[in-house]
A and B are shown apart, each in its own frame.
Chain A
Amino acid sequence: MSLAHRIIPCLDTDGARVVKGVNFVGLRDAGDPAELAARYNAEGADELVVLDIAAARDRRPTFLETIRRVAAELAIPLTAGGGVRSLDEARSVIRAGADKVTVNTAAVERPELLTELSAEFGAQAVVIAIDAKFKNDHWDVMVRGGRESANQNAIAWAQRAAESGAGEILVTSVDRDGTQIGFDIPLTRAIAAAVNVPVIASGGARLPQHFAEVFREGQADAALAASIFHDNIQSIRELKQFLATQNIEVRFPC
């Protein structure tokens, strides 16, 4: 036996409530984060991610309280982030109960942030989130919620981020996000081949087969999805049962 492939539900929140929407437009309420966390913990999620997609400064205390409420429900690891810009902000996220903190735009602007976080919390607590979009002949790093190009090659950035102290890479395909046509396999595989840290694939999942593909062909260590779990399109338990029939190692019982 070896490491199980992880299934990770993601809770996008406005700080307090789980929300759904595309590019922050037409956000709809999708439930209470602590209630969903308890449900996914019981259904066999291997880890949970909770993000503050609004990341407004004045609402940060609300989000920290959400992390506390979510952490209280979990007997599995919790990753939290969204708009984290400094060591101080990361510290408050970890102190609120997150095992790992995810950073995105701030690390693109100042990669040393990853080194600082890694020195204080250890690389296993630092997740670099990379939003990647295909442009001409390569994947471009997108920042500020996937809206702006950072004019950087996503593969090169993944390597630099891992060297700077990130212990895990959460790669989201901006092209696939919300499409439900499957993960971006070439992107995931390219990132996984370029670094020696675990890779979480995100963006585009709907069918169990999509997860099998991203583990087998995309070489992902974990796969993340949001609304297909919130909307009961896919149950975590049935997804894992399917993956087991495909001889992909997953964690049971769940």
Chain B
Amino acid sequence: MNVTLLDYGAGNVPSVQRALHRQGIHSERATTPAQISAAKILILPGVGHYAALIRALDDQSLRQPLLEKINEGTPFLGICLGLQALFATSEEAPQLTGLQIFPGQVEKLPQTAKLPHMGWNTLQLSSESPLLDGISHQDYFYFAHSYAVTLPTDRSESPTIATSHHGKKFIAVLEHKNICAVQFHPEKSGTPGARLLANFLRPHS
């Protein structure tokens, strides 16, 4: 199996690489349009500021090849900012445009809760999926973010398969055709995180 990690400079790329390595999976970092176009399985790890990710995609001409790969059905996993980037815009950098695969805006979590939302939280599973195989509402995942996609009012339009709650309910896991994305960090989420990565890769091994 050949897994490609889109490396725009985010700090968690080596962590994801290590987490895959622990499962015996070799991964390569992609920093150029050609490397992205050659990907068989694509992971977009992100952490930090939304603007840093979106600017890097545009400055390094990675947006177009990334969209092409996603649209042609390449298995894709977005992590943290990698989930947020799939939506149209973000309150964190309103002047920038996301990948626009899903409509809607990434919003700041309410200040009624401590921000960043940092630490181990559980999921509410809303639909069944092989991606969540062996994962229950009792499993904890590591979150580190202040922005999130809160749920659309029309649930039938929603690709959400699990939510979490911090001040407000938000999308924790989404799945739509070949596109998977998680708001937490599976690479830092112990055994359940490793299971989710394995579940994502299993159909392609």
Contacts and interface: CB of A to CB of B under 8 A. Distances in A.
B191 interface: yes
B114 A99 contact: no
Contact of A75 (B118, B121, B144, B188): B188
B57 to A, nearest CB: 17
A119 interface: yes
Contacts of B189: 75-76
Contacts, number: 101
B15 A124 contact: no
Interface in B92-139: 111, 114-122, 137-138
A221 B114 contact: yes
A15 to B, nearest CB: 21
Interface stretch (A1-9, A51-59, A150-158, A201-209): A1-9
Contact of B15 (A3, A71, A125, A222): A71
A99 to B, nearest CB: 7
A77 B22 CA distance: 16
Nearest to B124: A1
A72 B15 CA distance: 8
A233 B140 CA distance: 27
A124 B19 contact: no
A122 B115 contact: no
A97 B191 contact: no
Nearest to A1: B122
A123 B166 CA distance: 17
Query: Main SS of chain B's interface residues?
Result: mixed
A124 B140 contact: no
B48 A121 contact: yes
A218 interface: no
A1 B166 CA distance: 10
Nearest to A127: B118
Contacts of B146: 123-124
Contact of B114 (A94, A95, A196): A196
Contact of A122 (B48, B121, B165): B48
B145 interface: yes
Contact of A123 (B111, B116, B140): B116
Nearest to A192: B114
Contacts of B73: none
A2 B117 CA distance: 11
3 closest A-B pairs (Cβ-Cβ)?
A122-B48, A124-B144, A124-B116
24 contacts: A2-B121, A2-B165, A3-B119, A4-B140, A46-B120, A71-B14, A71-B15, A71-B18, A74-B188, A75-B19, A75-B188, A75-B189, A77-B142, A95-B11, A97-B14, A121-B47, A124-B118, A125-B11, A168-B116, A196-B115, A197-B116, A221-B114, A222-B119, A252-B140
